[in-house]
Structure 1
Amino acid sequence: MSLAGCLGGSSNSTSLSVGIPSSSTTTGAASNSFQRVVKEQSGDTEPAGEIRWQNQETGGDPPSLRQFSQGNLQALTAGNFIAASAQEDQPPFAEQPLDTLPNQMFSISSLHMHVLSVNGSGIETTDDLVGSNFWALPPSWGLRQQAEAVFSNAGLWSELQDTDSIVNADTGDVAGLIEEGNIDALIAYGAGFQNLAGWATEVDARADLQLVEFSDSLVEAANDTRGTSHSELDVYGWEQQDFQQDQMDVYGADFQFWLGSDVSRDVGYELARISNENTESIQEGQPAYLDHSDPETMASLYLEDMPVHPGPYDFLEEQGVDMSAYTRGDE
């Protein structure tokens, strides 16, 4: 069915509640910028009508997926790793599997996860993290679940837990905890070769850090973990640090918008058109937002074993994108 008019307004309007982790995250900033552009570009015209893209902070993509399954959200941002985990009833969904999953909508950005330590901590490789105070992202995040999977595959996560090395804290507390000496090392990320998340720019301004080298076991573990792999990239995003090196070890995390199958094909099509035709405006609010002026890029992060919403699917097919590897979602 269509959600047109179900949340108020005329029968020619659609209100979408969209789950984001927080506005200080890369995907939250992307969705906030997309919300602004949708408001500017969406009109009260047939067949899609007016679209209201309304962001709701949930604390992470696992909570967003749970809220979606309960019928409280119609769209969300989420990483491919955590969406695949939900599809396969893997942690954190193993004990409480989800009844309903959203369709893939289109790409947001690829994140580059890396590890840093406080200068003077003595932590130079990921093997040195055991026994330290290590912040591995907020427990409610899909990125935290991905980190746990990577470090578990390397045999490190259980050692970190056994030595009480894991620090659980929200992003807004990290810079202060570093200054207080309560965090020795952390996981951070850059997005799309453009920037850091908002919370990480505060850490950059207030902490003296160095990059941590991935041990061989962590490199192998990243390559063996579903949805990610290890690579070495040029350092970017850190403006206040003097790393004394040009490259950093990273593992990847791909993020997309996701849209419920109850949302009409026409609304999904219009959202894809708006993103394709207004990339520069969206990037004003989040430079890491992928360049959707090339429709191929919109499809670049699709998973082959999860359906694509029929609206974006049809739009991209009309733009000449080869969609034969993907399944068109049910209307």
Structure 2
Amino acid sequence: MSQVIASAVSQNSKISVDARPSQGTNRNVSEVINGKTEIAYIQNWTANKIRQNEKPFNNLKYQPHQVFHLYDLAWFLATANNGWKSVKDIKVNSNVSPTPNGSGTAEMLEHALSFVSDDYKRSSVSYGDQASAMSEGRLDVGAATYVNLSTEPGWLQQMKSTVNLRVLNWPKKTVEKLEADPAIVISDIDMSQFDNYAYKPKTLSTPTLAYNFIVREDHDYDTLYSFLETLWTQRKKLQKQTKLLTPMATRDAWVKNAYADFPFHPAAADFYEEKGLWSKEFERGKTNKKSSQ
């Protein structure tokens, strides 16, 4: 996705953009703050830690500013255990892998599970190995995701073809508590678009990670504005390179799930005002003087 974005901007403007592999959203913050990367994405869980001045993001030298929304990953828990329909079915000593240890998603899902139970056994199974672990009785519950709430990754499709996979829903009262948590985004997903599950609820309400690009507060105004302007003119063509960027053809997708109380870079704020997308609920960063670069 980032490579397609970089190519679209580089080929249609005077800006040269080089997309490089990321070592995770926490690392991305450090890379941006230290000037090793000019623009990178994070997710709302990390954004909340920055907002709350929590370690390891306390006392940052520069204020990260958000720029635009990239995509969403709706994370849910699944099982091959007959009869299970809810995360409430997780029992004491059940083997649960809320994504592998060390992943950027693990901490968020563990936090969500704490609203239901703390008595499970924390397992760590890679995405591609979850199905075999379930078949062998080593794993009761694993994690899965929908990209942009609609696309199943290949490893999830492989899970469904290996075991009778059941989607676990979250209790209504738990969902209400999670929705009130500023660190959590909840998505309601129409499950009629997905097939070949042994069980699925009609609507799945589940924690979601919203990935937005950030820059440092002193990022050059004109360069960033030109970046956004070029990408905007190319937005409908991005899907020809990857369907994962199809949502960017929709205007509102650029500011979807904007982080609350997290400033937009002034160039982005001005750009969205011009496009009629700015909301009074958004926060504008301190105005940077326009440069002639």
* TM-based fold match above 0.5: yes
CA distance in 2 between partners of 1:188 and 1:72 (Å): 32
Conserved? CA contact 1:118–1:184, under 8 Å: yes
Change (3 A) 1:300 1:220: closer
Structure 1 residue 97 displacement after superposition = 5.9
Q: Contact 2:7–2:17 at 8 Å: present in 1 too?
A: no
Matched, 1:268 2:233: no
Q: Is 219-228 or 80-89 further displaced after alignment?
A: 219-228
1:133, 1:182 within 8 Å by CA — same for their partners in 2?
Answer: yes
Between the two structures, name the one with larger relative contact order (CA 8 Å, sep ≥ 6): 2
Deviation at 1:315, TM superposition (A): 1.9
Alignment match, 1:327: 284
In structure 2, relative to structure 1, the CA distance for the partners of 1:265 and 1:236 (3 Å cut) is farther
In the alignment, the residues of structure 2 paired with residue 319 and residue 104 of structure 1 have an alpha-carbon distance, to the nearest angstrom, of 17
TM-score by length of 1: 0.73
Aligned equivalents of 2:193 and 2:103: distance in 1? Answer: 22
Q: Specify the SS of the correspondent of 1:142.
A: coil
1:159 aligns with 2:119: yes
Map of 2:197 onto structure 1: 241
User: SS state of the match for residue 94, structure 2?
Assistant: coil
CA displacement, residues 86-129 of structure 1 (integer Å, 9 cap, x when unaligned): 23134xx2697644442101012233232211143x53321222
Q: Percent of counterpart pairs with the same letter?
A: 17
Change (3 A) 1:240 1:216: closer
- Mark the CA change 1:74 to 1:209 in structure 2 (over 3 Å): closer, same or farther: same
Instruction: Give deviations 1:153-198, integer Å, cap 9, x for gaps.
Output: x152x323xxxx1122443443443444432212222133430245
**What secondary structure, in the 3-state scheme, does the structure 2 residue paired with 1:57 have?**
coil
CA pair 328-230 structure 1, distance change in 2 beyond 3 A: closer
Letter in 1 for 2:43: G
Q: Distance in 1 between matches of 2:66 and 2:19?
A: 18
Question: 2:59 and 2:245 mapped to 1: Cα distance?
Answer: 31
Q: Cα–Cα, structure 1 residues 171 and 248, in superposed 2: closer, same or farther, change >3 Å?
A: same
Work out the CA distance in 1 between the residues paired with 2:22 and 2:135. 27
- Once superposed, what is the RMSD of the aligned Cα atoms? 3.0
Match of residue 76 from structure 1: 40
Shift of 1:299: 2.0
**198, 213, 221: which one pairs with 2:169?**
213
Measure, in 2, the Cα distance between the counterparts of 1:184 and 1:86: 34
The alignment's TM-score, normalised by the length of structure 2, stands at: 0.82
Unaligned stretches of 5+ in structure 1?
Answer: 1-29, 44-48
Distance across 2 between alignment mates of 1:111 and 1:281:
22
Does residue 128 (structure 1) correspond to residue 89 (structure 2)? The answer is yes
Farther-moved stretch of structure 1 (229-238 vs 209-218): 229-238
Equivalenced residue count is 286
Distance in 1 (CA, whole Å) between partners of 2:185 and 2:86 is 18
